[in-house]
């Protein structure tokens, strides 16, 4: 995942996309799958994206202090 090659504009666009995906946690699933695969082998079972996103919001249900924002 090294910085993309290409013209400056393209690179800036890719960087912005990467930043937004990280900031919104849209990349959470990819990150989790990569994490599991790295630690438990490339064939390790992973939840589907749907399943994973459900678990993530449900976790917030259980402890609302996660992701709490200030005034």
Min CB(9)–other proteins separation in Å: 18
The tokens describing 46, both together, are 């992973």
Min CB(4)–other proteins separation in Å: 10
Residue 46's φ and ψ, nearest 5 degrees, are -125, 150
Summarize as ranges the residues that interact with other proteins (CB under 8 A): 1-3, 18-26, 28-29, 31-32, 34-36, 49-50, 52-54, 56-71
Min CB(16)–other proteins separation in Å: 10
């Amino acid at each position: 995942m090294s910085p993309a090659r290409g013209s400056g504009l393209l690179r800036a666009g890719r960087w912005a996309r990467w930043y937004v995906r990280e900031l919104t946690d849209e990349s959470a699933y990819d990150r989790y799958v990569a994490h599991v695969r790295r630690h438990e082998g490339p064939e390790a079972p992973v939840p589907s994206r749907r399943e994973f996103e459900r678990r993530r919001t449900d976790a917030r249900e259980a402890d609302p202090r996660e992701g709490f924002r200030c005034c």
